[in-house]
A and B are shown apart, each in its own frame.
Chain A
Amino acid sequence: MNIPPSTGAALEVRGLVKTFAPGLPPALDHLTTSFHAGTITGLVGPDGAGKTTLLRTLAGLLQPTEGSVRVLDMDPFTQGDFLRDQVGYMPQKFGLYEDLSVLENLVLYADLRNVTGEDRERSFKQMLAFTDLARFTDRLAGKLSGGMKQKLGLACTLLGSPRVLLLDEPGVGVDPISRRELWRMVRGLASEGLTILWSTAYLDEAELCDDVRLMNKGNIIASGTPKELMDQMRGRCLHVANLKAQRREVLRKALHDPEVVDGVIQGANVRVVIREVGRFPDLAAMEAGPDAVLVEVDPRLEDAFISRLGGVHGGDSALAAVTKPVELPASIDPEAVIEARGLTKRFGEFTATDHVSFKVSKGEIFGLLGPNGAGKSTTFKMKCGLLKPTEGQALVMGLDLKFSPSEARQRLGYMAQKFSLYLGLTVEQNLVFFSGIYGLDGQQQKEKIHELVEAFGLRPFLQTKTVDLALGFKQRLALACAVMHEPQILFLDEPTSGVDPVTRREFWTHINGLAQKGVTIMVTTHFMDEAEYCDRIALIYRGKRIAMGTPDDLKGMVVTPDCSNPTMEDAFIELVLRADREREAKVSQ
């Protein structure tokens, strides 16, 4: 195949405007940019910035309202037939055929992309190895876990050696191990001269790209290499270390400091970004304790992203402000608000969850982490009563979900992995419905809805159909619906999957606030920076609990002379690999 010279723009967009309906603001607003062959360009930006629209336009699936689009020097809309062989596009929701097996899906896309003979053999081998799906070639795609589906979808897109790859959030729902492999693979493709556009909500992913475009409101507001963007932030990123006080409280107060534009929890420390180099925040006002110190740390791309978008202000959760502190009945052990006792689930021969036990205490944020298909979701579903355990007990406030489900459920709130409110209803109808089925009515219901609408800024959208909401607002609405009845326990299943960092900050402000009010929270996530927010984490792999402890405990477990300061991601990967080695050692004995 002819590989074009690695100079010159492979993708070029000039004055691109895309309007979906008259009256609505354009999804793309006079956008001009170009992308070069042999590079990976990260496309980042908040929800509704126009990333997906740009990718769809480049893929020839949308007709530009104005402006010109050139892909490999052709117009993707009118000359699509010539281009589709050259362009691989992976939509956000890659539709696999659920009633076809893994291999059949691959064969289908190989045929569609005219990958035959030895080429096919070779790419299948490569794809199956990379996706770790070789064990599951005969399994129906519908029976794969969410992350495995995503990997298979990507594999189908990569077939047929395209010259341009358009990837719309390929990493959503994929665990860190697979993401690393995915990255390695895409990097390899780039070095062969492919032009790769990678839209992502994970800024750590974008950090690895050659080039980054930060989009907002249909246009590009910053571009450059990650290093350039990060260097602008040097000196502005600090750790507040040696905390005596509760780190959540410190974060909340830090975000009130006028010098601070962003802040997150990182292990035992609080990480802040300041407005200007040299103007430090007031440690005393944070009440961080006498030993607290500020330590400068390396900037991350996320810092640039957040500060470009104006930063995060105020660490107070309007939701927590309207939530009453949780009072548990005396009969309930505050150390075991949620408890799993030897929780086991078998599907036929297959054990999805294998004797998992843990206790979560009141006001704790407990994270459930694990690679795709490790049994994390199964465990989670048993905990909130969606699946009945084969063995063991799932207790919620001392009640067994098997025997008093209705009573127990009244006390828990649930937010699903996939957005699952009624898309056909308006925002208000959803709020009324979900408060109604939890028994709120009359004045009480009206007040609660009013409070939440104000807290989440949903007022302008009350009459909007939920399907038409931007993802960020959908997320807020989903959280609002989950906490309407002031649950004492909150179950969050990958709640921020695909959500941009700004919305994620806001989301965690609420979760932190709720935890401070004594709400017990159980969460699953693939974002390692989110794992840092957890008080304790259980790492699940192949159905078993392989590690449990605070984020710093887990990081501590993998400290080696080579790696003295491991990240959460390092810890995750190392612990999983360690479990693999132990298992293999056992097998070989």
Chain B
Amino acid sequence: MNLSPSLRRLLALCRKESYQIVRDPSSILVAFILPVVFLFVMGYAINLDADHVRIGVLREDAGPAAVRFEQVLSASKAFEVHSGPSREALVKQMARGNLRGVVVIPNDFSIRMAQGQGKASLQVLADGSEPNTAAFVGNYVQGAWESWQQSLARDQGRTQPPGLEVRTRSWFNPSAISRNFLVPGSISVVMTIIGALLTSLVVAREWERGTMEALLATPVTRTELLVSKIIPYYGLGMIAMVICMLVAVFVMGMPFRGSLFVLFGVSTLFLGSTLGLGLFLSTVMRSQFNAALAALTAGFLPALMLSGFVFEISSMPMPIRVITRFISARYLSSSLQTLFQVGNLGSVQGYASIWLIALTVFWIGLTALKTRRTLD
């Protein structure tokens, strides 16, 4: 082999890094097993579309209308209805988290129903400590009530009041399955883990074990040192990406409407910026313990909370929206969501790419600045 010395050194360092990756069961765990576990949890366990919500129904009225309405609620797929002896008992059950809401059908319900429209009233108590579920309970009871009213009116042959029909269509994701946007989002979290978490440890480890001093005394240059940390973990990240895509498309049946080329490009840029972040933390901290905590704080948690895949970025206050701009996962997440459900879209992936390039330059540049060839 006739290689230039620089290339030979780079290859040697990359090979060394790869051996270390392959021989450490924990990096295999994180790169190959954790992504699959994470995707399954995100794809199947996390379901923002609430259904089978447990509610309690207190029917104080024995009249036919009250019984019928209770049946309507029971028949709904959205609810799992439990009846209770008293309001206090049901509220207590709700406080303990066994019920998410309580519907009270008052004792004059049937009488008032018979009197006509707008007379009868229902009371819904929801557990506000789970705001999302509480809102869901309120809206669904309201919805169930209204459609029941309308069907009653139809059955009784009364003229229906002129309706304003709202036709809602969910674009790209017709049945509005939350998995379809959670899975791309969680891929970006997984990729952050590999990019930032694994690499945050590697430079610190070299300092701790004294291998850095020995390396610095060889002809290795700063660039070779940096690049040799990036390439193997980039490879590992790409493998994980492929695994994630295979699981998402073939196991979970997600659509994929974009091009592989764009996917490749965006993932590359994303890995560039997160690897940069991880290396930066590792270089600055020089201790595995601290680097690990820092990577968790600056990598994983923001990817989960601030990347916009669970919590809408536009709903956040201004200063936090500014912070999200520096979270690489945000761009991968939106790019992937679009790639899966829409396709290639310059305005989304192009925009993301520009930011990712900027972040890559920022983090790797900062790492290069902080990487010294001396022990001072």
Q: Which residues of A contact B (CB under 8 A)?
A: 56, 59-63, 77, 80-81, 84-85, 87-91, 93-100, 104, 107-109, 111-114, 116, 153, 156-157
Contact = CB atoms under 8 A, between A and B. Distances in A.
B214 interface: yes
B212 A108 contact: no
Nearest to A114: B5
B214 A62 contact: no
Contacts of B11: 111
Contacts of A112: 9, 12-13, 215, 218-220
A84 B374 CA distance: 13
Nearest to B216: A61
Contact of A81 (B23, B215, B219): B219
B31 to A, nearest CB: 16
B88 interface: no
B218 A61 contact: no
Given A99-B23, A114-B219, A91 B214 contact: yes
Contact of A59 (B13, B19, B217): B217
A90 B221 CA distance: 18
B146 interface: no
A95 B213 contact: yes
Nearest to A117: B1
B16 A113 contact: no
Contact of A63 (B23, B220, B376): B376
Nearest to B218: A112
B19 A104 contact: yes
Interface of B: 1, 5, 8-9, 11-13, 15-16, 19-20, 23-24, 206, 209-221, 373-376
Nearest to A87: B217
Nearest to A55: B217
B9 A97 contact: no
A61 B214 contact: no
A100 B211 CA distance: 12
**8 nearest A-B pairs in the assembled complex, by CB-CB distance:** A95-B211, A111-B12, A95-B210, A89-B217, A84-B219, A93-B210, A112-B218, A114-B5
Nearest to B12: A111
Interface of A is mostly: loop
B23 A111 contact: no
Given A109-B218, A112-B9, A114-B5, A95 B212 contact: yes
Given A114-B219, A153-B214, A100 B20 contact: yes
Q: Which of B1, B221, B374 has the most CB of A within 10 A?
A: B374
12 contacts: A59-B217, A60-B374, A61-B213, A61-B216, A61-B374, A62-B374, A84-B218, A88-B217, A90-B214, A100-B19, A108-B12, A111-B12
B256 to A, nearest CB: 37
Nearest to A20: B376
Contacts of B374: 60-63, 77
B214 A94 contact: yes
A114 B220 CA distance: 10
Given A61-B373, A99-B24, 16 more contacts: A59-B217, A60-B373, A61-B213, A84-B220, A93-B213, A95-B206, A95-B211, A95-B212, A95-B213, A95-B214, A96-B214, A97-B20, A108-B12, A114-B8, A153-B214, A156-B214
A96 B20 CA distance: 12
Contacts of B23: 99
Contacts of B215: 95, 112
A566 B13 CA distance: 48
A11 B176 CA distance: 74
Contacts of A81: 219, 221
Given A91-B210, A98-B209, A104-B19, A84 B217 contact: yes
Nearest to B206: A95
A96 B13 CA distance: 13
Contacts of A85: 219
A312 B231 CA distance: 57
Contacts of B373: 60-61, 80
A97 B211 contact: yes
A114 B214 CA distance: 16
A98 B205 CA distance: 12
B372 to A, nearest CB: 10
A107 B23 CA distance: 17
Contacts of A63: 374, 376
A95 B211 CA distance: 4
A61 B19 CA distance: 27
Given A59-B217, A113-B218, A95 B209 contact: yes
Contacts of B210: 91, 93-95
A113 B214 CA distance: 12
A109 B1 CA distance: 17
Nearest to B9: A112
Contacts of A109: 218
Nearest to B212: A95
A104 B19 CA distance: 9
B348 to A, nearest CB: 42
